[in-house]
Amino acid sequence: MFYWLLFGLSDRWFGFNVFRYITFRAVAAAVTAFILSLAFGPAIIRALKAGNLGEKIRRGKDYRPLESGHAHKEGTPTMGGLLILFSVLGSTLLWARLDLAPGWLAMGAMAWMGGVGMADDLVKLRGRGPRRGLPGRIKILGQVILGLGIAWYLYSAPGTSSWASQLMIPFSKHPLFDLGFFGIIFIIVVVAGSSNSVNLTDGLDGLAIGCVGIAAFAFAVLSYLSGHIQIADYLNILYVPGAGELTVFCAALAGASLGFLWFNSYPAQVFMGDTGSLACGAAIGTVAVLIRKELFLLLVGGVFVVEALSVLFQTSYFKLTRRYCGAPRRIFRCAPLHHHFQCAGLAENKVTVRFWICALICALIGIGALKLQ
């Protein structure tokens, strides 16, 4: 919005020229999202408390080692993802160019999965226990619809169909690989996988949102490089027109993550819930798809990948040993992986900070991979 309101006045005062620069608007979007989070966070937390939208901790023999450490979390307001959505979308609308489709797609993806997550949270909170919520197939359906919408845009929009099925392969001298129409399935898998992996990571105070902020910053850099024709040519990566505006969106997400962390750090005053985790994961996955850096998501979001794999391996091994060995066995003490370390005796905030460190290293590797081709 500010771009159209103020850049047009640059002929009257040269200072308004600054609005043409993506880097300036990205920094402004991050700061704005952070300020919006701090300003509206207390009011949203009070509203969630007034609505009796408090977290219910998991109970049962599988979670018994965690019950004592998580008992104090009972009743903490959840659905704080509404604050993240408000801050990101509001900041992006203020600072991004609104005539380019990629920004709208990223905002739409975040809003769509935020809506799915909010419905899941409400059903879960109004149900009888913390494990009730929307059926898994409904959430998957929402992710499939989102993936199909993004694929439709890439395969049909003017100027994108020529590279819609192109896949960037990290560390390859010839980084482009054509997926053909299998690219549609691939897009759905990336968006759904990203959304669900962030959801699985959301289990400790500040853990998921800290990792989201780091990944968002990394993809802000990747988006800027992909949308700059000279730099993209120098790095031998696909140039994506309009991708630079995704830098503004990712910067807003990074700023909102810091703002939400203000309230979500240990001991948390509010949880993001599925409203935030599904939305943030979908946003990062959508950006990765739009700039054709899906495989870079495995590097940048390494923590999310490991968390998701820990659940997959634990569940598969449990079922296989129960079926073929007569007695179920586990690889980890508890899954996702962050709970394994908790059960091993590590303090919650120590696990969180160490995962942040790993997330930062993964982000640096993902950005550095652009040069190692």
**For 307-336, what is the mean pLDDT?**
90
Q: Is the pLDDT of residue 104 over 90?
A: yes
**For 37-41, what is the mean pLDDT?**
97
Task: Output the pLDDT for position 8.
Answer: 54
**For 125-132, what is the mean pLDDT?**
63
Q: Which stretch of 52-66, 67-81, 139-153, 278-292 has the lowest confidence by average pLDDT?
A: 52-66
**For 156-174, what is the mean pLDDT?**
77
**For 90-95, what is the mean pLDDT?**
95
Q: Is the pLDDT of residue 105 over 60?
A: yes
* First-last CA distance in the chain: 38
Task: Output the pLDDT for position 15.
Answer: 58
Q: Is the pLDDT of residue 346 over 80?
A: yes
Q: Is the pLDDT of residue 114 over 60?
A: yes
**For 11-24, what is the mean pLDDT?**
70
* Confidence at 6, pLDDT banded by 50, 70, 90: low
* Confidence at 1, pLDDT banded by 50, 70, 90: low
Identify the bridge partners of residue 77 per DSSP, sorted by sequence position: 54
Between 92 and 176, whose confidence is greater? 92
* Confidence at 288, pLDDT banded by 50, 70, 90: very high
Mean pLDDT of the chain: 88
Task: Output the pLDDT for position 150.
Answer: 95
Q: Is the pLDDT of residue 56 over 90?
A: no
Tokens at 164, concatenated: 């819609």
Task: Output the pLDDT for position 69.
Answer: 56
Task: Output the pLDDT for position 58.
Answer: 60
292, 226 in Cβ contact below 8 A?
yes
Q: Is the pLDDT of residue 200 over 60?
A: yes
User: Distance (Å, rounded) from C-alpha 38 to C-alpha 30?
Assistant: 13
Task: Output the pLDDT for position 326.
Answer: 78
pTM of full prediction above 0.85: yes
Task: Output the pLDDT for position 63.
Answer: 54
Task: Output the pLDDT for position 61.
Answer: 55
Task: Output the pLDDT for position 170.
Answer: 80
Task: Output the pLDDT for position 84.
Answer: 97
* Confidence at 253, pLDDT banded by 50, 70, 90: very high
Task: Output the pLDDT for position 119.
Answer: 94
Q: Is the pLDDT of residue 336 over 70?
A: yes
Task: Output the pLDDT for position 163.
Answer: 74
Q: Is the pLDDT of residue 72 over 70?
A: no
Between 325 and 290, whose confidence is greater? 290
Q: Is the pLDDT of residue 152 over 70?
A: yes
Task: Output the pLDDT for position 11.
Answer: 55
Task: Output the pLDDT for position 33.
Answer: 98
User: What percentage of residues in the chain have a pLDDT greater than 90?
Assistant: 62
Q: Which of 77, 70, 72, 73 is nearest to 54 (CA)?
A: 77
